[in-house]
Structure 1
C-alpha cells in the first residue's frame, strides 16, 4: 500500500493550485513535504479526511482540528498565514476543481479509505437554534454558549484586566497588555467626557472592567448590563473588591429591557456585534431614548470590510458554528447609517485595527503559556477551538480582512447643541497613558 502522506499532500496542493510550505504526517507514520517547513499538519486518523470531504471548506478543516483528528505541530500562525494557504484550501470547494481534478481527488480519497458517512460534528458545534434570530431568548442562549464557559478560562486568556475587547497600545508594543487595556478604558471615558456625578450605562458590561474604571477614576455612577450569568457573578464580586459597590450596579439584563434613563453617557464595547443588522436601527433608537440631550454614545465594534451584500456566507462558517452563533460583523457604513437613523449625530470615528491584532497575539500567547491548565478547565476541544479562533482573528486584523472602530455619537440638545467643544483635543481631554 502506498504511504498516505504524499497522497494527502497532493490532494491539497491540487486544490491550492501550487505547492504548500507545510509538512504532512499521516496515521501510517508516513511523511511528505519540505523537512524544513515551520509547521507540520498531522492527520492522526482517516476521519480527518472524511470530515474535510463532507465539508470541503473552513468548517471541515475546523472540525478535524477541534476533534483532534487533525493536529498542528509548530507555529499555527505560520500555517494560517502561509502564502494564502488557508485562503486557497479552506475557501475553495473541491467541486470547483473541475471534473478531471475532482475525479482524481475522489480516487485518492477512496484509496486512502476516507469515504463513508459524515462523522458526527464535535459536541461544541452549534447547529440548531431555537426561536427567531436576535430574539431575547435566542440571544441569551447563544451568548451563554460563548461567555458561560468558565471565568477562570477567560482569566487565563485575558489576564488580570478581564477586558475582552481591543486594547489601545498608546505606549507602543513595549507596553504590557494590562497597560494597553487600561489605556483603552481611559480613552473611552475621555471620549464620553465623563465627570463626577454623571450617570453611565455600560451595555454588554462583561466582567465589569469598564464600570469599575469609570467609577474609580472618573467618579461616575454606573449601571452595567449583560445577559451572561457567569459574567454577572464575577463582575459583582470584582466591583465589591474594587470598593465601588456604592457607585456600580451590575444587572443580568438585556439592553432592550433597560428603561431607567436618562443617562449622561453610554458605552457599548464589543457588544453591538451581537445585535445584528435587522435590529441595528432598534438598538440605535433604544440608546437614543436612554440618553439625555447632549449625552454621548461610544460604540466600539468589530466591522466587516466588505459591503453588506457581499459579507453573507453561503456556507456555514467556523466562527458562527463554534464561537459567535448569530454574530454579525457589519460594515462601518451600516453602523453609521443605523446610528443616524436613530437620531444620533456622528462626531468622531477611530479605527483601531492594528491595535486588535496586537491584542489578539497577546491572548494567543497567554493561552499557549497556560495550555495544560486551559485543557484541564474546559477540555481539549474547546481549548483548540479558542486557539484556532484567536490565531485566525489576529491574522484577519493584520491583513485588513476585518476592522474595529470606535464611533462617538451625540444626542443633540435644543437648537443643535451637542455639548462638545469645537476641537477634538478639547473634548477628548488629557491623555495620562504615558
Structure 2
C-alpha cells in the first residue's frame, strides 16, 4: 500500500504508463542498478506487462514498493530486501534467475557494490516518479539483524547474539533443510549418481536425500581419520552444532567429546541426540564460548564451519587459544569457507551480513594457513572442497523447496525466503570460484610424529 499522500501520484503514473506498461521502465531502472546496457532477465511488472529477453529467467515485481526499496538502497541490499519481503519473486528456476542477476554488470564484481553516479540516481528517481513508486523508505523485513548496532564486534555478548540470530530459528526448520544428519557444513561427495543428480538438476526422487546423508557421514568420517582418533582420546569440537560430529566420533571411534556452541537450541537437541544414542557418558555438550574452555588439554580439536564467526583480527587469538588446549602432538582440523577472489572483508550493507551471518567474516586460505603456522602449529594437509559445497547447497535448496509449506509454518515466510536466497546464491558463488571451503589439518609439535604420507586418512 502506498501512503495516502502518494496515491494521487500513483494514479498519475499508471495513466502515464498505460500504453507501454510498467515493465519497460522497470527494465531500464534495473539496467542502471546493474550497470548494464540490457538486463539478462525477463521482467514482469505488477500491471502484467513484461520486458526483457524472451525466454530469459523471470523476475516478477509484484508492487511498486520493490522499486522504492531499490531507490533507497540501489544495489544488492535493496533487491534482497524486496525479495525477502515478497515484493520481488523469482517464479521459475531460482538458480537460473540468480545466476543471470549475479553475472550481470556490477553484480559480477565480488567486491563492494559500486555506488550509482548522481546522473544514474537522478534517472532512477525520475523512473520511480513516473511509476508512482516514490515515497518513504519502506521498513526492512523484520528478519534483518540489528546486532551490528550494539556492543563491540566479536565481544562474547555480541558473538552470542550473532549466533542466536542465525542458529536459533528452530531445530525443526533446520531438520527440514539438513535432513537426519543435521550437519550444517559441506558434505564430501563421490562421483556417483547422487552428486550428478544435484548438479544437473534431476528430480530429487531419484535418491538425493539418501545421497546427501551419506555424503555428510563421509565428511564426518574424513575429519575423524584426519584427526587420527583412537579409543580413549579426548576431543574438543568447537562450534559443535547439533552434535553430529560428536555423535559420529563417539560411536565409531570410541572417543570422549566436549562440544561447545553459543546456540541454546543447538545444545538442547545435541544433548537429546546423545542421550537417545546412549552416549551421555561420552559426550558433553555445553553452551560455552570457546574462549572460556578451561579444562584442556585435548588429544584433538575439530572446528567445522566455526572460524568464519571469529573475525580476521581475532584469528591469531583463536589459533593461540586452540593451541593451548591441544596436547603436544595433538591435531587440529579447521574446516572453513574462504574468499578465493574478490573482497577479504564483508560489505556491511550486503545481504549476508544483514540477514544471514551478522559479524561473519571469511578470510583467505593463505591467511588461515599463515595464522596457524604463526601460532606454532605445523600444517600437515590442505584439502579444497569448493565443488563439494556447491553440491551440498543445491541439495539443501532442493529440500527446502520440497518442504516449503512446512518450512514457512515453522519460521516465517521471510525467513524461508532468506534461506532460499542465501543458499542458492552461495552455491553459485562456489561454482564460480569466488568462494571456497578448505580443511586445513595442523598439529602441535611434540609427541608422535605425523605420518609420512596421507594414507592414514585417504
TM-score over 0.5 for the alignment?
Answer: yes
What residue in structure 2 maps to residue 397 of structure 1? Answer: 430
TM-superposed CA distance for 1:94, in Å, is 6.0
Residue aligned with 1:302, SS: strand
Q: Which runs of 5+ in 2 are unaligned?
A: 1-15, 196-210
Residue aligned with 1:78, SS: helix
Is 2:92 the counterpart of 1:62?
Answer: no
d(CA) in 2 for partners of 1:171 and 1:208?
Answer: 27
d(CA) in 2 for partners of 1:398 and 1:418?
Answer: 39
Q: 1:279 to 1:372 in 2, by over 3 A?
A: same
Structure 1 segments of 4+ aligned residues over 4 angstroms from their partners: 83-87, 89-94
What residue in structure 2 maps to residue 264 of structure 1? Answer: 299
d(CA) in 1 for partners of 2:104 and 2:183?
Answer: 29
TM-superposed CA distance for 1:424, in Å, is 1.2
d(CA) in 2 for partners of 1:84 and 1:130?
Answer: 31
TM-superposed CA distance for 1:95, in Å, is 2.0
Is 2:188 the counterpart of 1:168?
Answer: yes
Residue aligned with 1:41, SS: strand
Residue aligned with 1:362, SS: helix
Is 2:61 the counterpart of 1:28?
Answer: no
Residue aligned with 1:205, SS: coil
Residue aligned with 1:319, SS: helix
Structure 1 residues 122-131 or 240-249, which shifts more? 122-131
d(CA) in 1 for partners of 2:107 and 2:427?
Answer: 19
Structure 1 residue corresponding to 2:215, chosen from 165, 180, 183: 180
Q: 1:173 to 1:275 in 2, by over 3 A?
A: farther
What residue in structure 2 maps to residue 132 of structure 1? Answer: 152
* Number of aligned residues: 420
Is 2:429 the counterpart of 1:361?
Answer: no
TM-superposed CA distance for 1:333, in Å, is 1.2
- Residue by residue over 1:126-172, the C-alpha shift from the partner in whole angstroms, topping out at 9 and shown as x without a partner, is 13432111111110011000000000000011011000001001353
What residue in structure 1 maps to residue 453 of structure 2? Answer: 423
Structure 2 residue corresponding to 1:201, chosen from 228, 231, 236: 236
- Residue by residue over 1:199-250, the C-alpha shift from the partner in whole angstroms, topping out at 9 and shown as x without a partner, is 1111100000000000000011111111100000000011111222221111
> Do the aligned residues in 2 keep the contact of 1:410 with 1:418 (CA within 8 Å)?
no
What residue in structure 2 maps to residue 95 of structure 1? Answer: 116
Is 2:380 the counterpart of 1:347?
Answer: yes
> Do the aligned residues in 1 keep the contact of 2:345 with 2:363 (CA within 8 Å)?
no
> Do the aligned residues in 2 keep the contact of 1:58 with 1:90 (CA within 8 Å)?
no
Residue aligned with 1:301, SS: strand
Structure 1 residues 321-330 or 124-133, which shifts more? 124-133
Q: Which runs of 5+ in 1 are unaligned?
A: none
d(CA) in 2 for partners of 1:4 and 1:83?
Answer: 20
Following superposition of structure 1 onto structure 2, how do residues 18-417 of structure 1 map, counting pairs within 5 Å? 18-37=37-56, 39-82=57-100, 84-85=102-103, 88=106, 93=114, 95-96=116-117, 99=119, 101-127=120-146, 128-170=148-190, 172-174=192-194, 176-306=211-341, 310-313=343-346, 316-413=349-446
Residue aligned with 2:332, SS: strand
d(CA) in 2 for partners of 1:389 and 1:148?
Answer: 17
d(CA) in 1 for partners of 2:184 and 2:194?
Answer: 20
Residue aligned with 1:376, SS: helix
- Residue by residue over 1:287-329, the C-alpha shift from the partner in whole angstroms, topping out at 9 and shown as x without a partner, is 111111100000000011247xx42355511000100000000
d(CA) in 1 for partners of 2:108 and 2:453?
Answer: 47
> Do the aligned residues in 2 keep the contact of 1:411 with 1:418 (CA within 8 Å)?
no
Residue aligned with 1:51, SS: helix
- TM-score where L is the length of structure 2: 0.88
TM-superposed CA distance for 1:418, in Å, is 4.8
Residue aligned with 1:121, SS: coil
> Do the aligned residues in 2 keep the contact of 1:20 with 1:85 (CA within 8 Å)?
no
d(CA) in 1 for partners of 2:105 and 2:124?
Answer: 19
d(CA) in 2 for partners of 1:106 and 1:252?
Answer: 49
d(CA) in 2 for partners of 1:220 and 1:181?
Answer: 20
d(CA) in 2 for partners of 1:90 and 1:333?
Answer: 24
